[in-house]
Homo-oligomer: A and B are copies of this chain.
Amino acid sequence: MTNPRKPLDRFHAVIPAGGVGSRLWPLSRASAPKFLHDLTGSGQTLLQDTWDRITPIAKPGRTMIVTGLAHEEAVKAQLPDLPEGNLVIEASPKDSTAAIALAAAILARREPDVILGSFAADHVIQDKKAFQKTVSEAVELAATDRIVVIGIEPTEPSMGFGYIKTGEALGISGAPSALKVDKFVEKPKLDRAKKYVESGKYLWNAGMFIAPAALLLRQLAKSEPALHAGVLELAAAWDTEQRAAVIKKVWPTLKKVAIDYSIAEPAAEAGLVAVIPGNFSWHDVGDFAAIAELQSQGRKNNLAVLGSARVLSDSSSGILVSDTKRMIAVIGLEDVIIVDTPDALLVTNKQNAQKVKALVDSLKATGHDEIL
């Protein structure tokens, strides 16, 4: 037997870049979803920020993007350093299991001992160093043949995230903060969320996980054998001239299922999942209220402005997003949300930010696809 590689040398990042982010309509669109936008005012898109955050840990050429056909050109333009072989295009949306399992299967064929880390393309983490330290520890832990999630210390009883119930410390050298995961729990109601936070045993599930690709695929084989077979068939053809033909044959058959159900939860029940608490602030910028909070950073009575519009604001707070060249005047509104795009305008406030999704659903139901 040859000397095994060090865990960090086995690490390969995967960034699934999907999801429209309909709570961010009319900024986020089917044609230009959330991750392709600068939602922080950093001058970079969320996808570019994610890339810059993870590539210092993954060795050069070891970050893969999985995205939809509609976004291929935008992703290439935004990430000029992305190797061509590391851009995986989904023929149609098949939910998170197919996206990540296909990446795992492609990478495992290229290097069987690969440790895959999956990171959403549309989250905001400002402390890169702390993030990288946490991921490094998670990679060490994953090398003990575990699925490792990153949990975030809750700062409030949020109803917008799933939670991770933590168990005993694992006491593993190289991963001193590792805890067992008792179970995953879905987005709770407020009273339950409060209990979770008070107990000190629950972390937010930030949707980041690190695991040997082979372990992920084994788990998938148990829970979704047909889907497992499908992604293996795709992966076998991926780096060959058969790719297109096999996609045409297999892709339509892939089951749509979230990776939480297909892999994470069953694996947690089987005692295979561990967590590294992430000691950094994390935002999923799920709606405009979250963006407004992120932008205001404690400044009260401040109207945050994203984009190039000329804005006149008189004692208003909230957020204004506009890339038009118009003059925009906002007078005396608290927590307002104004999103101004060439073909659509949204006006609401933080308290109603969550309702944007229902509005988009109703636009969809009434056939207004041109505006989605």
Contact = CB atoms under 8 A, between A and B. Distances in A.
A332 B349 contact: yes
A361 to B, nearest CB: 12
16 contacts: A312-B359, A326-B344, A327-B343, A327-B363, A328-B344, A328-B347, A329-B347, A329-B359, A330-B348, A331-B346, A331-B352, A331-B355, A332-B348, A333-B349, A333-B352, A345-B345
Contacts of A368: 327
B347 A333 contact: yes
Contact of A338 (B347, B349, B362, B363): B347
Interface in A331-372: 331-333, 336, 338, 340, 342-349, 351-352, 355-356, 358-359, 362-363, 368, 371
B312 A332 contact: no
Contacts of A363: 312, 327
A329 to B, nearest CB: 5
Contacts of A358: 314
A26 interface: yes
B347 A347 contact: yes
A346 B329 contact: yes
Contacts of A371: 327
A347 B336 contact: yes
A108 to B, nearest CB: 45
Contact of A327 (B344, B348, B349): B344
Contact of A26 (B329, B347, B352): B329
